[in-house]
Amino acid sequence: MTITEKEQGLIDSFSIYDDWMDKYEYIIELGKDLPLISEDQKTDENIIKGCQSTVWLAAEKREDKIIFTADADAIIAKGIIAILIEVMSNESPDTIINAKLDFLKEIGLQEHLSPTRSNGLVAMVKQMKMYALALKMK
């Protein structure tokens, strides 16, 4: 699946819900499928700065693709990072670096997008792109 197809898949899944409660219940549900970071990687260096909750993110390169794992102590944050990982993981560094992630607006997470928001979605995206950039050089 291309990144666009994955984004479209999420847009389709979210389009079923028009009530905020159902939408957030779905976000919480997605958090349960998050590819978990290993316990020994839950270090201070892997904590994403700029989130009110603690979110750990790790990345590794497998055959030119970046694989992300994460965890969070807040379950909505966990759902949001799970959504990002579903789209961004298993992609090439360049695809990740250039990802526009327009689908976030369509699934109604635009309120989390403003850089001044303290919930950290922007920080999460930035950290994923940083990893991609760093691993591209390796």
Partner 1 sequence: MTLDISAIRKEFPILKTSIGKYPLIYFDNGATAQKPQAVIDCINQYYQAENANIHRGVHHLSQLATEKYEAARGVIKSYINAAHDYEVIFTKGTTDGINLVAQSFGKLLQPGDEILISQMEHHSNIVPWQMIAEERGLQLRYIPINERGELDLTTIDELINNNTKIVAITHISNALGTINPIEEIIEKSHKVGAKVLIDAAQSLQHTTVDVQKIDCDFLVFSGHKIFGPTGVGILYGKEDVLNQMPPYQGGGDMIKTVTLEKTTYNNLPHKFEAGTPNIVGGIGLGKAIEWLSQFDLEAIAQYEQELLDYATEKLLKIEGLKIFGTSAKKCATISFLIDNTHPYDVGTLLNQQGIAVRTGHHCTQPIMDFYKIPGTIRASFSFYNTKEEIDLFIGALNKAVMMLK
Nearer to partner 1, 24 or 42 (CB): 24
The nearest distance, CB 19 to partner 1, in angstroms, is: 10
Range 98-127, binding partner 1 (CB under 8 A) = 118-119
Secondary structure class of 48 (helix, strand, coil): coil
Q: Stretches 20-28, 57-65, 90-98, 130-138: which one binds partner 1 (CB under 8 A)?
A: 20-28
**25 is known as an active-site residue:** no
Told to check if 21 binds partner 1 by CB under 8 A, we report yes
Site string for partner 1, 38-77 (x = CB under 8 A): -------------xxxx------------------xxxxx
Among 6, 11, 24, 129, binds partner 1 (CB under 8 A): 24
Write down the H helix ranges in 16-101: 20-31, 75-88, 93-98
Among the listed residues 10, 27, 51, 99, the single catalytic one is 51
Residue 82 · residue 124 · CB < 8 Å: no
Task: Report the C-alpha gap between 33 and 126 in whole angstroms.
Answer: 22
Write down the H helix ranges in the chain: 3-15, 20-31, 75-88, 93-98, 103-106, 121-137
Contact residues toward partner 1 (CB under 8 A) are 20-21, 24-25, 28, 51-54, 73-77, 118-119
Catalytic residues: 51
